[in-house]
Structure 1
Amino acid sequence: MRLFRITILFVIALTGVILLTRQVQVGPELAERGEALGVAAPAGSRLNAILTSSQTDAGDEFAAAIPVTMHVSELSLEPRAAELSVEQELDSPLSLAEQAERQQAALDLPPDPQIQIASAGPEPNAPILGVNFAALDYAETATNAPPDPEIAVGPNHIVAVVNVAIQIYSKTGSDATAVIPANNFFGTHPDCDEGLLYDPNVVFDEEIGRYLIGFDMGPFSTEGGYCLAVSQTSNPTGAWFLYFFHLNNNSTWVDFPQAAVTDSYITVTGNLFDYVPSPSTNYMGAKIWAFNKSQLYAGGAVVPQSATLGDDYFTMQPLHLHGVAESTWPRHGQRIYFLADQFDGAHYSLFVWEPGNVPVLVNEINLGQGGFPINVPQNGPGLLRANDYRLLDFEYRNNYGWLTQTVSCNPGGGTSNCLRWAQILLVNGQLGPAGSGTYGSSSEHRIYPDLAINRCNDLVIGYTKSSTSSFPGIWFTGRKQLDSAGTLQAEAQLKAGEIAYTSFASDPSPHRWGDYTGMTIDPDGLRFWYIGEYSKDIATASRWGTYIGAFTYPNCQPINVTDR
């Protein structure tokens, strides 16, 4: 992702990425790996075929990462320097011209009777809003845009991250810490001290009781990589181990990292781009890294393992596990599941991988054609960018993985941006009983969804919604386990937008709104927590704010969770 960093004295422009060529990587036959992992091969799958676009990265040579220790109470809360920063371009396997062509094709989509038309809620059995409060905003975060908010929740605390700041809250919404600049949080580690941080991740490991915060560092730099912090207990206001993993190399750099907790590893995926000067930087494939949990949590030396998919795939989403409190945490052992996006708006591939071996294709999934997202209107001047239809999450619950993304669709009155979601059975990559669906309405745009699933198999999806008659605000919908397949409930508003969104002069319309928002499930398996983005009426160069809300379904009972 291209970031522009504007200090008081000067501007450093980091070049953008446009695809001109493709390179195919050849991997070995996968049938024996499928048998070894006990994966059922569905009829018509390619599991027992030669998959020419995956490989294990046995040739990668990673130096052992040694952590340093940091305590939150010792951090400076003052930003390093007065600066403005705006993410100016989302890196893509498509050139700008190709993206424009797909947007134009989306504008010509015919009406689709399969689209579920969104309606106003909430319904009687809808998720109930509980604790909710204003969180990080532009004015508090060393002046960066867009925010890319994510959230993790443990027994007693909430950790929220944005570009480029961190704040910890109690579960009643009170501040447990002040806003912490990300450079200060990671500044104790010499390899993360001066680098450009972006694309934040935060997750909580229910099994062991640890928080993990990660930031991509050093775009378009051979010295860049991933800064990863691991809490030493389930109290995120205490001590942390800080790691730096040198994931960039002389051939490629990593963009759009996505993190997840698995049974034995912390996994991070990313998109790879080469260093050919803009505008001819090339997309080179998608990659996954596995970091041993036991070594991370002990503060030991860690050497990651990795595997690469060729450039037929884009944006891998690792499966994030849940279910410890209700004893449904899966015992996957060394196995890691992930989805890979074929970036055509229709086809997705479920893989299972044991580090040290080649990823195994479980099944290819066809969700039907979704259009490339289009620019989003608001009540006022300027448009918002909806980016593209890459996968935005892959969450585990009770033997299924759930995905979500933004696509464009035509509900009957012209093209708008819509939510798409699906439930996937992990053993064979087939749709689960909830099925899949596309949710939208004419002249209203829903973008950057994220989802979570409770212990009762109920779903909540949060997202941004905007139209010519409304400011960008935060909305949510959901479904109960026994709701009709392929359907969501009526939607409700969490936080209204307050003003037409504007941003830096260097970020003209269509403005960069973000890359993702964040939702997770509480370790109790009951409460959903969402951090979304809305246009906030603040007198700053970029008018974004974030807001956190908790939701429960009335008929799903809680389980007590204590600190570990």
Structure 2
Amino acid sequence: MWLHEIGGAVLAIRRRYGRILPLTAALLALGFILPETATSARASDGDTIVATEQIQASEATVVTPRGNDQSKDTREARGALRTETAQKLGDARDVQPQKRPKTGGMETSYARPPASRQSFEGPNQGTLPDLPPDTHGAVGLRHFVEVTNGTGLGIFRKSDGANVATVSLASFFGYTTTRIFDPRVVYDKQRDRWVVVAEAFPEPNTTVQNVFLAVSTTSDPTGSFFVYRMDVPEGADFFDYPQLGLNEDAVIITGSIFDSADVYLRTRAFGIPKSAIYRGAGFSIPYFNLGSPGTVAPPIVEDGSPNAFLLSASVTAPNALRLFRARGLGTPDATIAPAIDVPVPTFAAPPAARQPGVADRLDALDGRFQNASTQIGNQLLNVHSIATGGGGFPTPRWYQINTTTATVPAGRSGLVFESSDSDDFNPAVVGSSVGGTRDNPIGRMFFTWSATDVLGTDLHQARVKGASRFATDPVNVTGGTTFAEATAPYNPSPLPIERWGDYSAVTIDPVRDRCRSGNGQSAWLVNERHTTPTQWGSRIGRLGLC
């Protein structure tokens, strides 16, 4: 809800709570005035956050990566650092979680089966441990590109699943001083370009920490890329967990910042102009401090909206999501408004997922949004894992936020799970405008997640799951299609909870030839699987509704 609607909204709040409600209290109820204890951005000027630093990069290096060189840094790529303390996470798990509905009732839950699908193996562990793998990927015109820790960048033909190239991150970005990790990739359907981002560990005895960006020069990921190296201005602090989004004019990156003791400090965001990087030119853009809302997901904006909405979920504020509105990202005049609350049912951090036959569990993270949102019109779609069923089950919950009113309307949120007794986690979702309406421009949804089951009769190890949903379907997505299933539990370390996934991805196929109604009726997913008790792999698959 933004400035042109404040007056009417304040009147509505006053009518609800009584005529004597002060204006300040009404604004507080709407999230425009934040209590001093809120984890909102603190550096602001009026209704915008002030960017006091800049991200700079000179002209790009043009490379066509070859080979598979490994980094000189032998440290494992560490998994996602928590933006909450162990005490806060423990307290959050005491919150009354949402109940998981029973499956089988079409009025409450439904999984629309895909009409067609295909799948094939993605990159696997290789020679280095690199836990977790941080599987992420995107589909383009003729290829699927997956990025992982350790193995690097894998390029696959969509037609037959053939692996046409595999390049380490060190070779791809031309950097071996420290290990590169946390990669993400998106395909810009508007400009037919591939965009890859990753970070490196800080360089020894310096304050240099590099974030890398690569942009393909054509729609072909096997060809040349413009490669940029950006030293983020964090001093001795650590930039972690980069997320990658797009709007019409900018590539959007967010990251969480930690001190040397891995204590969470703040979250950063910046937008890089496509007009510069898609031709290899240098740039200098604002570097925003969003305060400490936890991990922040940028959007993939599917239309020409001047707004880009950034979103966070944190168990510190279990009754609301946090919504930032950015304008002009990728320009020197970019602005980001301080976050407002989007009320949601109380959620708690998910428990780790159980595995049949062993006590070891799989990490379901901490309730954060793991991947970019889909933004179409005034609707924003994302999914995260929460606790359900008396706290015993990790379960993805999706939200479709009305960014005009900063609400999740009735019928625009639901759970995602395989069965009434499965553990479900590591989710991603993407939306499509096919079948959308003026009131609800997101007409299709596609999901991926991981699932295990230790109860009942269908006991199974970790599966790669996928499902789809029409806007008119019941809100809970259940069942789904299995793309891969492990035959033994995953137990690669002495730890009681094994790192898993951290990322996954599902993206709309930009090719129109499969669907008479045009693109938007099929999507491609990638998620972690394990091939042995000690080695991870990944699975790439297609979900089709035509």
Instruction: Judge same fold: TM > 0.5, yes or no.
Output: yes
SS in 2 for 1:90: coil
The aligned amino acid for 2:505 is G
Residue 117 of structure 1: which of 56, 77, 102 is its match?
102
Q: Is the 8 A contact 2:41 2:339 kept in 1?
A: no
CA distance 1:466–1:480, change in 2 (3 Å): same
2:328 maps to 1:359: no
The verdict on how the C-alpha distance between 1:533 and 1:58 changes in structure 2, with shifts beyond 3 A counting, is closer
CA contact (8 A) 2:401 2:408 kept: yes
Residues 246, 118 of structure 1: alpha-carbon distance in 2 compared, 3 angstrom cutoff: farther
Would you say 1:339 and 2:330 are equivalent positions?
Answer: no
Gaps of 5+ in 1: 1-30, 323-329, 555-564
Matched, 1:316 2:293: no
- 2:123 alignment partner in structure 1: 136
TM-superposed CA distance for 1:123, in Å, is: 7.0
CA contact (8 A) 2:75 2:179 kept: no
Q: Distance in 1 between matches of 2:9 and 2:145?
A: 40
Judged with a 3 Å threshold, the aligned counterparts in structure 2 of structure 1 residues 168 and 434 are, in CA distance, closer, same or farther, namely farther
Q: 1:458 aligns with which of 438, 444, 447?
A: 444
Q: Deviations over 1:312-341 (max 9, x none)?
A: x1111111123xxxxxxx2224x3221133
Task: Name 2:465's counterpart in structure 1.
Answer: 475
1:303 & 1:467 partners in 2: Cα distance?
Answer: 50
Q: 1:65 aligns with which of 55, 58, 62?
A: 58
Distance, in Å, in 2 between the alignment partners of 1:449 and 1:181 is 26
The CA RMSD over aligned residues, in Å, is: 2.9
1:440-459 pair list within 5 angstroms: 440=417, 443-454=421-432, 455-456=434-435, 457-459=443-445
Report SS of the residue matched to 1:534.
Answer: strand
In the TM superposition, what whole-angstrom CA distance separates every residue of 1:152-208 from its partner, at most 9, and x where no partner exists? 111111111111311111112433533211111111xxxx33222111110111111
CA, structure 1 residues 467+214, in 2 after alignment: closer, same or farther (shift >3 Å)?
same
Which residue of structure 2 lines up, in the alignment, with residue 145 of structure 1? 131
Decide whether aligned partners of structure 1 residues 40 and 510 sit closer, same or farther in structure 2, where only a CA change above 3 A counts: farther
CA distance in 2, matches of 1:211, 1:186: 14
The answer to whether the 8 A contact 1:166-1:179 is kept is: yes
How far did 1:234 drift? 0.7
Is contact 2:466-2:543 (8 Å) kept? no
Q: Aligned equivalents of 1:415 and 1:45: distance in 2?
A: 33
- Aligned residue identity for 1:178: A
TM-score (norm 1): 0.79
Secondary structure of the 1:172 match is coil
Q: Does 1:250 align with 2:235?
A: yes
- Judged with a 3 Å threshold, the aligned counterparts in structure 2 of structure 1 residues 143 and 460 are, in CA distance, closer, same or farther, namely same
User: Which residue number corresponds to residue 440 of structure 2?
Assistant: none
In 2, Cα distance between equivalents of 1:92 and 1:124? 32
Verify the 8 A CA contact 1:378 1:467 in the aligned structure 2: yes
> For the Cα contact (< 8 Å) 1:133–1:547, is it kept in 2?
yes
CA contact (8 A) 2:53 2:233 kept: no
Q: 519, 523, 526: which is aligned to 2:506?
A: 519
Q: CA separation in 2, counterparts of 1:76 and 1:543?
A: 23
Residue correspondence of structure 1 range 18-33 to structure 2 within 5 A: none
Match of 1:213 among 172, 196, 206: 196
CA distance in 1, matches of 2:540, 2:291: 37
- Whichever residue aligns with residue 320 of structure 1, its letter is I
Retained in 2: the 8 A contact 1:142–1:181? no
Q: Which shifted more, 519-528 or 217-226?
A: 217-226
User: Secondary structure of 2:275's partner?
Assistant: helix
Distance 1:175 1:491 in 2: 26
Report the equivalent of 2:516: none
1:93 aligns with 2:83: yes
Residue 435 (structure 1) aligns with: 412
Pair 1:155–1:178, CA change in 2 (3 A): closer
Does the Cα contact within 8 Å between 1:138 and 1:145 map onto a contact in 2? no
Tell me by how many angstroms 1:481 deviates: 1.6
Question: How far apart in 2 are the matches of 1:39 and 1:317?
Answer: 26
Partner of 1:14: none
Corresponding residue for residue 367 of structure 2? 389
C-alpha distance in 1 between matches for 2:194 and 2:451: 30
1:551 aligns with 2:540: no
Change (3 A) 1:86 1:318: closer
Cα distance change of structure 1 residues 143 and 82 upon mapping to structure 2, 3 Å threshold = farther
Counterpart contact for 1:349–1:361, Cα < 8 Å:
no
Do the aligned partners of 2:444 and 2:521 also contact (CA within 8 Å) in 1?
no
1:57 deviates by 4.5
Match of 1:53 in 2: 42
Rounded to whole Å, the distance in 1 between the matches of 2:486 and 2:387 is 22
Deviation at 1:232, TM superposition (A): 0.5
- Matched position secondary structure for 2:225: strand
TM-score, length basis structure 2: 0.82
> In 2 relative to 1, CA 123–371 (structure 1 residues): closer, same or farther, beyond 3 Å?
closer
- Paired residue secondary structure (1:371): coil
Aligned residues: 487
Checking the alignment, whether the CA contact within 8 Å between 2:72 and 2:177 is kept in structure 1 is no
- The separation in 2 between residues aligned to 1:359 and 1:458, in whole angstroms, is 29
**SS of the residue aligned with 2:284?**
coil
Are 2:54 and 2:287, in contact at CA under 8 Å, matched by a contact in 1? no
